[in-house]
């Protein structure tokens, strides 16, 4: 049989292709093996399990350098850096990931989320804000909005906080209406400080509409009405509030008393305060009653009540050091020349008892806060003084 040289023309390219395929297969197999079981990776894992984080990081860095395509390792490394407080390195890892063109959409979102966490933990709020905004429309959207809301509330950027809370209210199952009302009240407070009273009134009306049961919008509205010399309107606002939020009365008893005096409706106010005091005695309601010339309970006919009667009646119900001190302030004693010194000591002792205390973190302050400066919680202060808790 003669050798046909035309076979050479066919077999040579075939052999070449087969050889090339075989070599490709070997390299890919090798790569796959390397990828599946890089020694440095397992070494790192082992260190991590033994809580030897420094050694784990060195091993992971080695693994990432050997095979820069492994995004899982990048994520693990980034998270490790963040957990150790090495935010700059965590940011670098996640930014490197985001810079890659071959990243899947899901991994890109994950890296963006991780980067936002790095900035948040590092306290770089401006950069965290920008990173979180990029998570809009991703599966991290809700979480990102909650973080953004916390940032805006902490930095008192109320308009932005209101916008984010509105989005959350529209998308989430939880209701944010009370919180949104707080944001409107905060904006109204800023308007009042800037002298824009009509703008403030509009914001407060929106807040009342959003959260009709919440005490703050009504209290702030009444305070603005008092400021605008609309005492009768303020009185009506607070009387209505006493029906929906009677437990918050200690917070607005003084305003109610002022409005009643200005609107010449002391009798109505006295009856209301006495009724509420019987249900739930408190020093603030007592003070408002005394300021109106009344006592916690009805006194005998033909006998004008004195502040002393009020404090004594309160002390009969509650062993209040504050009430005792205020009663003593109005009394005359055998050694009256020493009264001021004794009174000063008593006032100092009772001052901490007149504070409000956050139920979430224990932060105490003389001022009542709707938004705790300690733990950033809303409505975490009971409306009663420390002594009455
Ligand atoms: Zn707190």
pLDDT score for 339: 84
Q: Which residues contact 147 (CB under 8 A, 6 or more apart)?
A: 116, 120, 128, 132
Residues in the chain, overall count:
389
* Two structure tokens written together for 86: 């090495």
299 secondary structure, DSSP code: P
Closest CA to 373 of 385, 384, 361, 382: 361
* Inter-residue contact 238 to 252 (CB < 8 Å): yes
Q: Alpha-carbon distance 361 to 381, whole Å? A: 10
Across the chain, which has 389 residues, the per-10-residue mean pLDDT values are: 60 59 49 57 78 74 67 83 90 86 86 94 93 93 93 94 93 86 97 94 96 95 95 96 94 95 93 90 91 74 69 85 86 82 89 94 95 94 92
pLDDT score for 261: 95
**Concatenated DSSP letters of 353-380:** GG-EE-TTT--EESS--SB-TTT--BS-
For residue 382, the CA-to-ligand 1 centroid distance in Å is: 11
For residue 279, the CA-to-ligand 1 centroid distance in Å is: 28
* Inter-residue contact 252 to 284 (CB < 8 Å): no
For residue 384, the CA-to-ligand 1 centroid distance in Å is: 15
* Inter-residue contact 223 to 193 (CB < 8 Å): no
Q: Which residues contact 7 (CB under 8 A, 6 or more apart)?
A: none
Measure CA 147 to chain center. 10
pLDDT score for 31: 53
Beta strands 356-357 and 364-365 are antiparallel
For residue 361, the CA-to-ligand 1 centroid distance in Å is: 4
For residue 119, the CA-to-ligand 1 centroid distance in Å is: 24
Query: What is the maximum alpha-carbon separation in the chain?
Result: 145
**Concatenated DSSP letters of 236-284:** HHHHHHHHH-GGGHHHHHHHHHHHHHHTT-HHHHHHHHHHHHHHS--HH
383 secondary structure, DSSP code: S
Residues facing residue 371 across a β-bridge: 378
pLDDT score for 253: 95
**Concatenated DSSP letters of 197-228:** HHHHHHHHHHHHHH-TT-HHHHHHHHHHHHHT
Q: Any alpha helices (H) in 67-193, and if so which ranges?
A: 71-83, 87-98, 105-122, 125-133, 141-154, 158-171, 177-193
For residue 336, the CA-to-ligand 1 centroid distance in Å is: 43
For residue 157, the CA-to-ligand 1 centroid distance in Å is: 19
Angle at 386 between CA 226 and CA 378, to 5 degrees: 65
Could you tell me the pTM of the whole model? Answer: 0.77
pLDDT score for 285: 93
Q: What residue ranges do the domains of the chain occupy?
A: 226-318
* C-alpha torsion sign, points 51, 52, 54, 56: negative
* Inter-residue contact 254 to 287 (CB < 8 Å): yes
Measure CA 131 to chain center. 20
For residue 126, the CA-to-ligand 1 centroid distance in Å is: 24
pLDDT score for 56: 75
For residue 347, the CA-to-ligand 1 centroid distance in Å is: 26
Collapsed DSSP state (helix, strand, coil) of residue 318: coil
pLDDT score for 223: 96
For residue 354, the CA-to-ligand 1 centroid distance in Å is: 17
* C-alpha torsion sign, points 236, 242, 248, 251: positive
Q: Which residues contact 320 (CB under 8 A, 6 or more apart)?
A: 283, 314, 387, 388
Q: If 0-12 CB within 10 Å is exposed, 13-18 middle and 19+ buried, where does residue 41 land?
A: buried
For residue 208, the CA-to-ligand 1 centroid distance in Å is: 25
For the chain, the C-alpha Rg in angstroms (whole number) is: 35
For residue 65, the CA-to-ligand 1 centroid distance in Å is: 46
Terminal C-alpha separation, the chain? 112
Q: How far is CA 118 from CA 105, 162, 184, 212, in A?
A: 20, 25, 31, 39
């Amino acid at each position: 049989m003669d050798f046909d040289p035309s076979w050479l023309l066919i077999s040579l390219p075939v052999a070449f292709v087969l050889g090339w395929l075989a070599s490709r297969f070997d390299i890919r197999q090798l790569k796959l093996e390397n990828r599946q079981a890089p020694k440095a990776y397992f070494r790192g894992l082992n260190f991590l399990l033994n809580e030897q984080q420094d050694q784990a990081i060195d091993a992971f860095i080695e693994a990432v350098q050997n095979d820069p395509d492994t995004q899982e390792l990048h994520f693990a490394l980034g998270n490790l850096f963040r957990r150790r407080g090495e935010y700059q390195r965590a940011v670098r890892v996640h930014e490197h990931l985001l810079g890659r063109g071959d990243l899947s959409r899901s991994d890109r979102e994950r890296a963006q989320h991780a980067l936002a966490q790095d900035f948040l933990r590092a306290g770089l709020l401006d950069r965290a804000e920008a990173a979180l905004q990029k998570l809009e429309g991703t599966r991290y959207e809700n979480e990102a909005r909650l973080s953004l809301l916390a940032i805006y509330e902490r930095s008192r950027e109320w308009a932005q906080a209101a916008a984010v809370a509105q989005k959350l209210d529209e998308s989430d199952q939880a209701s944010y209406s009370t919180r949104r009302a707080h944001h409107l009240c905060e904006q109204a407070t800023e308007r009042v400080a800037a002298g824009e009273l009509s703008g403030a009134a509009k914001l407060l009306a929106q807040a009342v509409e959003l959260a009709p049961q919440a005490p703050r919008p009504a209290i702030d509205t009444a305070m603005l009405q008092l400021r605008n010399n609309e005492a009768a309107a303020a009185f009506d606002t607070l009387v209505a509030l006493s029906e929906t939020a009677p437990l918050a009365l200690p917070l607005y008893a003084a305003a109610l008393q002022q409005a009643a005096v200005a609107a010449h409706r002391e009798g109505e106010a006295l009856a209301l305060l006495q009724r509420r005091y019987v249900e739930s005695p408190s020093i603030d309601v007592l003070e408002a009653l005394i300021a109106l010339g009344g006592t916690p309970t009805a006194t005998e006919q033909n006998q004008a009540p004195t502040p002393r009667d009020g404090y004594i009646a309160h002390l009969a119900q509650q062993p209040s050091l504050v009430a005792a001190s205020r009663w003593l302030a109005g009394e005359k004693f055998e050694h009256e020349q020493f009264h001021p010194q004794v009174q000063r000591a008593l006032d100092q002792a009772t001052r901490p008892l007149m504070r409000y205390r956050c139920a979430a973190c224990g932060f105490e302050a003389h001022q009542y806060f709707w938004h705790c400066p300690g733990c950033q919680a809303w409505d975490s202060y009971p409306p009663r003084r420390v002594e009455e808790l």
